[in-house]
Structure 1
Amino acid sequence: MKTLQKKFCIALAAISLGIAASAGSALAQSSAPPSASAPAGHGQPHGDPAKWAEKMKERMAKHQAELHDKLKITAAQEPAWKTFIDGMNPGAMPARPDRKEMEKLTTPERMEKGLEKMKEHLAKMQTRLVSLKTFYAVLTPEQQKIFDESHRRMASHMRERMGKQMGEHGPGHKAGDHPPMTDKK
């Protein structure tokens, strides 16, 4: 059984990726390469970060166009659509913290830094939620159903991919490294 913390992290990641992907431009705008302190194989998952970012940008543009067409956005809804897409853009991905600097910190200091990053992420998600709600309000009930179904399928796909990437124990762990943590009550 997974710990509450692991469940929270996975849910937060799935929600943030789901919202960003349905908006259309989440990771595509990020072309910042991972820092030199990032271990090989971490950071951008597909080799060259610039190529990966360009590929994501293309995928997101395609997704946006498909969603726009599925929703049959009217001329009157176009300004709301553009505002929605712009509002969902998270901007550039933040650089990874320097590993050597992080190692100098105490455990509570590292946890405080992590909490600061989570608060920044939460603030960005809240901004995206406002953008989402504003756009959703201009959709007809039929468009809302289409939007909801599209997001539901995409979120399910993202959770499935994350589960496969994370494996049973998370990144960097192999089965048998240690027994899974359980919640005992």
Structure 2
Amino acid sequence: MLAAPVVAGPQDWGPWMRGGDFWEHRVERMAQQHKKLRDALKLTPDQDSAWKKLMGSEHPMARAKSGKPDDWAKLTTPERADKMLERMNEHQPLMAEHVVALKDLYAVLTPEQKKTFDDFHSGPRRGMRAKPGPRSLENAPAKS
């Protein structure tokens, strides 16, 4: 008798991949990265308002209500594409706000802080599907 292959399903993905737990994990991870970056930048009180504006512009939970997976399964391909376009259009103003806040912070950083900021965001690709992620400062190249 032949055995059927076992395919991992959502229950096998671990708690962080099952919807809400994933976003909680992501928010927690972002907070850790923000703290690490803030500590590395050694911001002055004059730079604090720009930092707060940048942090306020990040919306990790601002994802559109996409409906249940079953709802998407009932849509035709063009209808799903329309939904994706709709979500993209909803997120575009949030991204524009974030870019403005990022540029405002960057403008008040010293050259050394800018280098730290750039190094923090230019690390090797890692994570699922080799998406870029923040490079930890411990792995940053030594300064010469």
TM-score (norm 1): 0.54
Residues 140/99 of structure 1: CA separation in 2 closer, same or farther (3 Å cut) = same
Partner Cα distance (1:55, 1:71) in 2:
24
Partner Cα distance (1:99, 1:55) in 2:
21
Deviation sequence 1:24-67 (CA, Å, 0-9, x none):
xxxxxxxxxxxxxxx82699862565554444443322222211
Deviation sequence 1:137-167 (CA, Å, 0-9, x none):
11111111110010101xx34xx323259xx
Partner residue of 2:127 out of 149, 161, 169: 161
Residues 163/105 of structure 1: CA separation in 2 closer, same or farther (3 Å cut) = closer
Amino acid at match of 2:33: H
Bigger RCO of structures 1 and 2 (CA < 8 A, at least 6 apart): 1
Residues 128/42 of structure 1: CA separation in 2 closer, same or farther (3 Å cut) = farther
Q: Percent identity?
A: 38
Q: How does 1:168-183 map to 2 (within 5 A)?
A: none
Q: How does 1:50-129 map to 2 (within 5 A)?
A: 51-129=21-99
Residues 139/43 of structure 1: CA separation in 2 closer, same or farther (3 Å cut) = farther
Alignment size in residue pairs: 123
Higher CA-based Rg: 2
Amino acid at match of 1:62: Q
Partner Cα distance (2:38, 2:127) in 1:
24
Shift of 1:93: 3.2
Q: What runs of 5+ residues in structure 2 fail to find an aligned partner? A: 1-8, 132-144
Amino acid at match of 1:40: P
Amino acid at match of 1:109: E
1:130 equivalent to 2:97? Answer no
Q: Aligned to 1:77, what secondary structure does the other structure show?
A: helix
Residues 54/131 of structure 1: CA separation in 2 closer, same or farther (3 Å cut) = same
Residues 144/164 of structure 1: CA separation in 2 closer, same or farther (3 Å cut) = closer
Partner Cα distance (1:104, 1:93) in 2:
21
Q: What runs of 5+ residues in structure 1 fail to find an aligned partner? A: 1-38, 166-185
TM-score (norm 2): 0.66
How big is the alpha-carbon RMSD for the aligned residues of Structure 1 and Structure 2? 3.1
